[in-house]
C-alpha cells in the first residue's frame, strides 16, 4: 500500500485520504451489518468480529496466533443444512473455504477499514450519478484486504468481505433498480462475486482470469448464471502465459458485453497479479500495458460512474508504477 501511495503522491492524481473506521465504532458496525445483510450472512459477519477473542479466551491461540481450519464443509446425502459448529475451533473451517485467510488480533480492524473504503468510494459516485457533474466519475479505492473471493458466507483467497458486493448494496440503497456491471480483471476468478450475483439479472459479472488457476473449481465459460440471472455471468478464462494481445482480445469481448448491457454503475475489480513477474499470476502483462487496459475500458464505458477496487497484486516494487500506468490510461481516454 505504501508503494502505491508513494507513487501517487509523486503524480498529479488527486488523492483523498479517508480515516479508517475502527472496529470499536459502533455506528460503522451497525451500518456495515445493515448494508451487507443482503449479500453477507449475519452469523458470518459476527464470526469475523468475535472469533479471535473466542479463540484467545478458549486458550486455543497465543495473542499473536490464529487457528488454521481443520475441516471444511462438504456435500452430504442427508439433505439437512450444515450448521455452524458450537466449537470455536471447528468454526474456523465452517466459515472458510481455504487456509489462506487467517483471523488475527488486528484482522477485523483491517477488514472493516477496507470495506469502509469500498463503501465510501461507492457513496462518492452517487453524486455524479444523480447529475452533479462536478462530482468525480471515477474513484479508485485502495482496499486491502481484497474482496472478490468472499461469497458472503466464508473467507478465502485473502478475502473477508466482498467489497464489490458492498458497493452494489450501497448504490442500490439510492437506486434500487439500477443495472450494474462488474469487470473483474484480477488474475484469479472472482468466485465470491460470481456466487453472490449468479441469479441476479441486474448485475452483469464479467471476469478475465487464468484458466485452471486458483480457486480451481469456478471460472469456466459454461458458468453463465442461473434463473433470471442466466446470461448475466460471463467468464473469459485465458491460458496461463498469455500475451497482452490475447488478453486485450478477451478484454474487448468482455467490454462489448458490458457496453451492450447499458449499465448505470461500474465496478472494476482490479488485480495487479496479472503482472508478468507476479508470484501468483502468469500473464505476460507489463507496466505500460495497464494504461492500454484502462484506456480501452473507459473508452468503452465512458461516462459511467466507476468504482475501481484494488484486489490482488504482489510485486510490491512494481505496484506503484502499475497503478499509475492504469490511472494515466484511464484519464487519457475520451468518450469519442
Ligand atoms: Zn488474484
| Residue 40 annotated in active site | no
In this prediction, residue 24 carries a pLDDT of 63
Ligand 1 centre to CA of 186 (Å) is 5
> Collapsing DSSP states into helix, strand and coil, what is residue 131?
coil
The contacts of residue 108 (CB under 8 Å, 6+ apart) are 23, 48, 49, 52
Does residue 336 carry a pLDDT above 70? no
In this prediction, residue 247 carries a pLDDT of 98
Q: Which comes out higher in pLDDT, residue 16 or 206? A: 206
Does residue 25 carry a pLDDT above 90? no
**Of the options 3.40.190.10, 3.30.465.10, 3.40.800.20, 1.10.10.370, the CATH number for the domain spanning 2-19+113-332:** 3.40.800.20
The percent of residues in the chain predicted with pLDDT above 70, rounded, is 97
Ligand 1 centre to CA of 271 (Å) is 6
Ligand 1 centre to CA of 189 (Å) is 7
* pLDDT tens, residue by residue, 47-100: 999 999 999 999 999 998 999 999 999 999 998 989 999 999 999 999 999 999
**Domain layout of the chain by residue ranges:** 2-19+113-332, 26-94
In this prediction, residue 29 carries a pLDDT of 66
Mean pLDDT of 158-182: 96
In this prediction, residue 20 carries a pLDDT of 61
In this prediction, residue 10 carries a pLDDT of 87
In this prediction, residue 21 carries a pLDDT of 61
Ligand 1 centre to CA of 209 (Å) is 9
Identified catalytic residue from 148, 149, 188, 189: 149
Mean pLDDT score of the chain? 93
Ligand 1 centre to CA of 314 (Å) is 9
Does residue 171 carry a pLDDT above 80? yes
- Residue 184: phi and psi, rounded to 5, are -105, 110
Does residue 271 carry a pLDDT above 90? yes
Ligand 1 centre to CA of 313 (Å) is 7
Q: Which of 43, 221, 25, 251 is nearest to 116 (CA)?
A: 25
Q: Out of 27-31, 170-174, 252-256, pick the least confident.
A: 27-31
Residue 114, strand partner residues: none
pLDDT category at 34 given cuts 50, 70, 90 is: confident
Residue labelled with grid coordinates 503482472 = 275
pLDDT category at 334 given cuts 50, 70, 90 is: confident
Residue labelled with grid coordinates 473467507 = 155
- Residue 50: phi and psi, rounded to 5, are -115, -15
Q: Out of 97-111, 128-142, 310-324, pick the least confident.
A: 128-142
pLDDT category at 2 given cuts 50, 70, 90 is: confident
Amino acid at each position: 500500500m505504501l508503494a502505491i501511495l508513494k507513487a501517487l503522491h509523486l503524480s498529479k492524481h488527486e488523492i483523498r485520504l479517508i480515516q479508517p473506521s475502527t472496529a470499536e465504532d459502533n455506528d460503522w458496525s451497525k451500518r456495515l451489518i445493515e448494508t451487507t445483510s443482503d449479500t453477507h450472512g449475519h452469523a458470518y459477519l459476527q464470526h469475523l468480529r468475535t472469533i479471535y477473542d473466542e479463540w484467545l479466551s478458549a486458550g486455543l491461540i497465543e495473542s499473536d496466533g490464529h487457528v488454521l481450519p481443520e475441516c471444511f464443509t462438504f456435500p452430504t446425502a442427508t439433505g439437512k443444512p450444515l450448521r455452524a459448529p458450537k466449537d470455536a475451533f471447528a468454526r474456523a473451517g465452517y466459515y472458510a473455504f481455504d487456509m489462506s485467510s487467517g483471523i488475527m488480533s488486528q484482522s477485523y480492524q483491517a477488514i472493516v477499514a477496507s470495506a469502509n473504503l469500498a463503501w465510501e468510494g461507492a457513496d462518492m459516485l452517487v453524486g455524479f450519478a444523480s447529475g452533479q457533474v462536478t462530482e468525480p466519475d471515477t474513484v479508485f479505492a485502495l482496499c486491502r484486504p481484497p474482496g472478490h473471493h468472499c461469497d458472503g458466507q466464508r473467507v478465502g483467497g485473502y478475502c473477508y468481505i466482498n467489497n464489490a458486493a458492498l458497493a452494489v448494496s450501497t448504490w442500490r440503497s439510492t437506486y434500487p433498480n439500477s443495472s450494474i456491471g462488474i469487470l473483474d480483471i484480477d488474475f484469479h476468478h472472482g468466485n465470491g462475486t460470481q456466487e453472490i450475483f449468479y441469479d441476479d439479472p441486474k448485475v452483469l459479472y464479467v471476469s478475465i482470469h487464468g484458466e485452471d488457476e486458483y480457486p480451481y473449481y469456478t471460472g469456466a465459460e459454461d458458468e453463465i448464471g442461473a434463473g433470471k440471472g442466466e446470461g448475466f455471468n460471463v467468464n473469459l478464462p485465458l491460458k496461463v502465459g498469455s500475451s497482452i494481445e490475447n488478453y486485450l482480445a478477451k478484454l474487448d469481448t468482455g467490454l462489448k458485453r458490458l457496453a451492450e448491457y447499458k449499465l448505470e454503475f461500474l465496478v472494476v475489480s482490479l488485480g495487479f497479479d496479472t503482472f508478468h513477474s507476479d508470484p501468483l499470476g502468469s500473464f505476460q502483462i507489463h507496466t505500460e500495458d495497464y494504461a492500454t487496459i484502462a484506456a480501452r475500458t473507459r473508452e468503452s464505458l465512458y461516462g459511467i460512474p466507476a468504482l475501481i477496487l484494488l484486489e490482488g497484486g504482489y510485486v510490491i516494487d512494481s505496484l506503484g508504477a502499475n497503478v499509475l500506468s492504469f490511472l494515466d490510461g484511464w484519464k487519457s481516454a475520451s468518450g469519442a
